Amino acid sequence: MRSSVRRATRRRATGAGLAALLLAGGAVGCSKLAADSSPDMAPAAAVAEAAKKTQDITSLRYRMAGTMPGEGKITAEAAMSMKPQAMSMRMTSAKTGSTVQVRVVDKALYLNGGAETARELGGKHWLKLDMSALGGLGNNLTANGTGAAEADKNPAAEAAFLTGARDVKKVGTETVDGVRTTHYAGKVTLADVEAAAAKGENRDARERRAKSVESYQKMGVDALTMDMWVDGDHHTKRFRMRGEGDKGPLDMTVTFLDVNAPVTVTVPPAKDSTDLAQLMKDAQG
């Protein structure tokens, strides 16, 4: 039983780490479709305006697809609320062919790997990781990528990264999900991102940016090629980030479906969940 729990924990922690890591690759969209137009501004000014609009985002719904270092191709759809903190994500990995569900509610992380999880947990589908109850182990799991401590990060923080680029340029106009946008691009180092953090950001935005920078540092990514598609209301509709990590390439595209729409994430049923902290206590006993 003890070894089964460890195997399940390792596998699900890996899936959770990827899911949480994906949260770092976002931008922001608009819940109301923008007019069929694009901002007529200098590239750097347009990017700065789009980044500014991310600071007051309270919820997001988005889809993503691409390649993550060491994990290969993935697709996912997610929704998250910043206040109160909650997140729900369904992610599919082409490498394993499996789908993992992740939920964060009330500072607890829940993982569901489908039938495989149920086999390891005596028929229950959800593994609960309560970081406060797990103590030191919880901190260790977080440090190794389960991401519970990072789940409150606003994906919109990455939209502000491009403000640190020194070569922002306008690529052209493109239609994304029926919305006409202006496409901007540039290259930025994490050092540039950190240097730009103090320019006009509120405290929450600076903290979100710092967490996002840290997540890329953990991947071994120190420079990013970035693309941003901005609609006529100066909101980022689509965002792409490319770079090289310690375990391979990063190439993630995020398309935002809406912002500030109600997001509800429910706690999985207790009868269908196994609490990792309780399992450890039982094992020690």
Q: What is the pLDDT of residues 60-83, one digit of tens each?
A: 899 999 998 888 899 999 998 888
Give the range of the structural domain holding residue 259, as residue numbers without chain letter: 2-284
Q: Which of 127-141, 162-176, 201-215 has the lowest mean pLDDT?
A: 127-141
Residue 203 Cα distances to 4, 37, 214, 221, 258, angstroms = 43, 32, 17, 25, 24
| CA pair distance 202, 45, nearest whole angstrom | 18
Strands, E assignment, the chain: 59-68, 72-81, 86-93, 99-105, 108-112, 126-130, 169-176, 179-189, 223-230, 236-245, 248-259, 273-275
Residue 207 Cα distances to 55, 145, 192, 210, angstroms = 11, 19, 16, 5
Burial (CB < 10 A; 0-12, 13-18, 19+), residue 204, is middle
- Identify the residue with better confidence: 143 or 183: 183
Predicted local confidence at residue 144, as pLDDT: 41
Query: 19 CB contacts (<8 Å, ≥6 apart)?
Result: 76, 89, 91, 100, 102, 147
Q: Is the dihedral of CA 112, 208, 85, 279 positive or negative?
A: positive
Residue 99 pLDDT exceeds 50: yes
Count of structural domains within the chain: 1
| CA pair distance 5, 194, nearest whole angstrom | 40
* DSSP assignment letter at 33: P
Mean pLDDT of 86-108: 88
CA 200 to chain centre: 23
Mean pLDDT of 162-178: 92
* DSSP assignment letter at 129: E
Predicted local confidence at residue 12, as pLDDT: 41
CA angle 207, 146, 109 (to 5 degrees): 90
Predicted local confidence at residue 174, as pLDDT: 96
Q: Where residue 240 sits, what CATH number does that domain have?
A: 2.50.20.20
State pLDDT tens for residues 206-236.
777 787 888 888 888 999 999 999 999 998 8
